Structure 1
Amino acid sequence: MTLRISLRDGEKVVINGAVIRASGRTDLAIESKVTILRGREIMTPADATTPARALYFHTMMAYLDPDGIAGHHSAILATIPAVATLSACESGRQAIAKFATRAASADYYRALGECRTLMRLEEQALATVEEQAA
């Protein structure tokens, strides 16, 4: 099955660990199994500033860097307890459970989706705390 991706001028994509930047509008047809992340899905280490964002970063690295999987697993396991504080709400518990299931089965790309849910919940919780403090 062919995966078709359209990139805008300057947009980045990571394919099997290689960072590719589009020069002009670019359409790609990928015809083999690859690890791929589009620019908006890529996080730098400097952006991993909260527990949920750190979980996303370590999961992204597990997806992109299978040779370093042991270290990435350790980082994921070390980060989960801090993220578990989001389990006070039902949607947080569900996202953590889905994340754990996907990560345990090495489905890191879909685990990233659960991380995005956790990041949204974390942002909402932090905003609530800031409102209460004001």
Structure 2
Amino acid sequence: MALKLSLKPGEKIVVNGAVIVNGDRRSTLVLQNKASLLREKDIMLAEEVDTPVKHVYFPIMLMYMDEKGFKKYHEEFVLRMTELLGVVENPEAKTLCVAISKDVMDGEFYKALMKCKKLFEYEKVRLAYVPESISDDTTGE
């Protein structure tokens, strides 16, 4: 089954590890066979990995894009997902974590990445939460 992509001017994609940059006009690409493909918006750089969910997302992305390093990335994923599951209390978020793990076990890395992105909003809300007793005590007394 072919995959049709519409690319914005200057948009980057990674196909099987090769970075491709679209020219100055909108264009369409058709991939005729299976390939590991990520759009620029789905690519995370190592220096952007600064939250627990991003620590889960990053090794999944690497497993998807670099099968030679699979074992190392998988070990990192298992460690980070175990840590995340240890602190997540929300039942929907836990269910999503389990679904992500299942996708990884099934080799469905792109599906796992898209599910993982759904956890970013949950995490954003949780990390922004500061209990009132802490936020009101700005004097340190």
Normalised by the length of structure 2, the TM-score is: 0.88
Q: Structure 1 residue 105: deviation in Å?
A: 1.0
CA contact (8 A) 1:86 1:93 kept: no
**CA-CA distance at 1:120 after TM superposition:** 1.6
Q: Label 1:79 to 1:32 Cα distance change in 2 as closer, same or farther (>3 A).
A: same
Q: For residue 22 of structure 2, what is the aligned residue in structure 1?
A: 22
1:131 Cα deviation after fit = 6.9
Alignment gaps of 5+ in structure 1? none
Change (3 A) 1:131 1:61: farther
Contact persistence 1:2–1:30 (CA under 8 A): yes
Q: Which residue of 1 aligns with 2:130?
A: 129
* Matching residue of 2:74: 73
> In the aligned structure 2, how far is the partner of 1:66 from the partner of 1:130?
43
CA distance in 1, matches of 2:95, 2:134: 28
Query: What CA distance in whole angstroms lies between the structure 2 residues aligned with 1:19 and 1:72?
Result: 20
> Alpha carbons of 1:106 and 1:66: their partners in 2 closer, same or farther (altered >3 Å)?
same
Q: Which runs of 4+ in 1 moved over 2 A?
A: 129-134
Structure 2 unmatched ranges of 5 or more: 136-141
User: Cα RMSD between the aligned structures?
Assistant: 1.6
Q: Which residue of 2 aligns with 1:8?
A: 8
Q: C-alpha distance in 1, partners of 2:120/2:44?
A: 12
CA shift digits 1:37-95 (9 cap, x unpaired): 01101100011111101111110000000111001101101111332145301111111
Q: Say yes or no: does 1:95 pair with 2:99.
A: no
TM-superposed CA distance for 1:129, in Å, is 2.8
Identical-pair percentage:
29
What TM-score do the two structures reach when normalised by structure 1? Answer: 0.92
How many residues in Structure 1 have an aligned counterpart in Structure 2? 134
